[in-house]
Amino acid sequence: MSDGVSKASLELRRHLLAQNAVEIVSAMQKSGLQDPVGLIVEMTDPFGKQLVYGILEARGVQKSEIAERIAALSRNAIPTFTAVISLEQAKKTLSLSSDTAVMNLSASRPAGTYWIVVIAAGGNSYSQVPLPTLNSDRN
């Protein structure tokens, strides 16, 4: 596992963002959240795996089924999970993975711009995406 700031870990997070951008942006637009944060999670990353288990267990998925999903996905590709949560949920949850998560998520953004966070290879990467169809009144 990478230290999260190596060139390889940054490239993996960029790759996951590129591969999942269309799906996560669509999910953010459909979420109904006023300030959605898109998550793209490498399911074998130590924190990412815990996050996936927490989200899926909260949705009623059994631990054994989650483990099977991860194993099945790992055979052919990088096992990746996407979800949309509120900005406040993101700040609370991602603060457990990074000392700078809340600071990064609190950075100013242009109106109509929202966060996508990629959790992979021992670190987090933060990107902003314009979603003009959402309510841009943020508090």
For every one of its 139 residues, what pLDDT tens digit does the chain have, with 9 covering 90 and above? 346 789 999 999 999 999 999 999 999 999 999 999 999 999 999 999 999 999 999 999 999 999 998 898 888 889 999 999 999 999 999 999 999 999 999 999 999 999 999 999 999 999 999 997 776 444 4
Give the separation between CA 57 and CA 96, rounded to whole angstroms: 18
Separation between Cα atoms, residue 94 and residue 100, nearest integer Å: 9
Between CA 111 and CA 108 the distance in angstroms is 9
pTM of the entire structure? 0.90
Residue 82 pairs in a beta bridge with: 40
